[in-house]
Amino acid sequence: MKPTYEEKDIVLDHVLESYKGLTVKIENLIIENGGELTEELEKSLSNLELSVKEKVDGYSFIIESLKDRARYWDEKSALLKKYSKTCSSVVERLRGNLKNYMLLEDKSEICGNETRFKLQQTTYSLDYNESEIPEEFFKTEVIRSIDKEKIKTAIKDGLSIDGVVKIDSFSLRAYPNNSPQKD
């Protein structure tokens, strides 16, 4: 007897819930270990007890879910980086305000109720106007680098080049399985 659509939906819901659970477990292990791929995480990835077809679909689900989580963390990271950058800018602005005030008022030290700021002479900096600097103060640097595009073209043309090894690479792409296939 074939399962009904309702029974198939119940099975599908159960499978999806287990995939979601695995995805959350993997993400939590990643977070708990500071982003490190630990032995425990490796073990949980290799011990997924599924048939080959279920494993392919499960891996696909987990891959897509973790790609979404990676995007989320990238966006969160970018936002936090922006906050951090803004805080650092405000700190520099406030320090600059204090420094400018002290320089304008010719003060080497100012005090608040709890904090004291003191100006100290540091190593000087130089401001360069390149068009006015005499030629004797320039140096010429010769940079030797590999012409990678030329090498790629030569390899494509069938040439063998000492010191260059061609390494085949592969990418993995996921597609909907529209036709039944063998394992």
**In the chain, where are the structural domains located?**
5-118
8 — pLDDT class (breaks 50, 70, 90): very low
Cα separations in angstroms, 5 against 2, 8, 9, 180: 9, 5, 6, 19
Burial (Cβ within 10 Å: 0-12, 13-18, ≥19) of residue 19: buried
Determine the residue type at 160: S
Query: pTM surpassing 0.75?
Result: no
- What does the pLDDT look like over 22-81, one tens digit per residue? 777 777 878 888 877 778 777 766 666 555 667 777 778 888 888 998 999 999 999 999
Helix axes 5-32, 52-104, angle to 10 degrees: 40
